[in-house]
Amino acid sequence: MKIHKLYRYPVKSLGGQSVLTLAPETRGFKDDRRWMFIDADGTFITRRAVPKMCEYGAEVHGDELRFVRIADGHVLGAVAGARNGSKQVDVTVWDDSLTATLIEDAAIPNIAAALGIPGARLVYMAEDDRRPVDPRFAKPNEEVSFADGFPYLITTTASLNDLSARVGEDLDERRFRPNIIIDQLSPFAEDDWAALQIGTHRFRLPKPCARCIMITQAPDTGERNLRVLAELSTYRKVDHKVMFGMNACWEGGDGAVKVGDLVEIK
């Protein structure tokens, strides 16, 4: 097996970047979901409630965070020094409460308004902003970014092809927001994987990923196709949850991983 694609999503719920090489870290790939928009109460904002966010992506260029309209590549705005901030604020991601670094920049109000979230604030997860992985599935010292629950999400080409055939449509891989897509021939063989080795890097796969309404949204428009979740529920439901992909935690390694790297089941 080989790595088919690699993705990172700098801002939670915005479109991501397909890249050829990425550096694994404990919380996820470098710059993956390290930024997030919050409301006045510090609660995270996602495209579940604001589908318009699907129309925009975020890209990291050095120390600049760039917001781009996916349809035509138009740069909506950019935040320079996007990792720098002096004010800590309390934020909430699902059931987790933590502190994050408030990013204050004159471009943010206009960006937030265009995203359909006027008044939203942008925060960054700095080194001292800690969020542990769910202790029911974690090993000691495992942490996660602003991702929903785990540092990494792994899917396979075979499972996507299987679902696409059932739905009767070539489904865009991005609707499932994977970090690592593995080129593989057997649909849902990943259900039985406990760990993967990619070069010197080892990834532990603690559990399948339970999916929500977000997978019904087209990646660039937010248009819903309810058949995606409905079809999955006919054959991928476990304990009233619909599963697609595997959550993963990084257990160490040196250097980066890249598209084309060999993947071994451990």
- Residue 5: CB atoms within 10 A of its CB come to 18
Cα–Cα distance, 146 to 100 (Å, whole number):
10
| pLDDT recorded at residue 206 | 97
| pLDDT recorded at residue 248 | 98
The alpha-carbon radius of gyration of the chain (Å, integer) is 18
Mean pLDDT by 10 residues, the chain (266 residues): 98 95 97 98 96 95 95 94 94 97 96 97 96 95 96 98 97 97 97 97 98 93 94 96 98 97 97
- Provide the Cα torsion 77, 121, 247, 149; round to 10°: 180
| pLDDT recorded at residue 171 | 96
Any idea where the domains of the chain sit in the sequence?
A: 9-124, 152-265
Residue showing tokens 């160490």: 252
φ, ψ at 162 (rounded to 5°): -65, -45
For 151-182, how does the pLDDT look when each residue is reduced to its tens digit (9 = 90+)? 999 999 999 999 999 999 999 999 999 999 99
Helix (H) or strand (E) holding 110: helix 108-114
| pLDDT recorded at residue 246 | 98
Q: Superfamily assignment of 152-265 in CATH?
A: PK beta-barrel domain-like (2.40.33.20)
Cα–Cα distance, 218 to 87 (Å, whole number):
36
- Residue 149: CB atoms within 10 A of its CB come to 17
Cα–Cα distance, 83 to 86 (Å, whole number):
10
Six token digits for residue 140 = 């000691």
Pairing of strands 257-258, 21-22: antiparallel
Helix, strand or coil for residue 83? coil
- Residue 202: CB atoms within 10 A of its CB come to 17
Six token digits for residue 158 = 């075979």
| Pair 76, 111: CB distance under 8 Å | yes
For 44-61, how does the pLDDT look when each residue is reduced to its tens digit (9 = 90+)? 999 999 999 999 999 999
Q: 23-45: buried (b, 16+ CB within 10 Å) or exposed (e) per residue?
A: ebeebbbebbbbbbbbeeebebb
Give the CB-side neighbour count of residue 30, counting CA atoms within 13 A.
12
Angle (CA) 3 145 223, round 5°: 70
Of 10, 29, 33, nearest to 20 (Cα)? 29
Cα–Cα distance, 197 to 207 (Å, whole number):
17
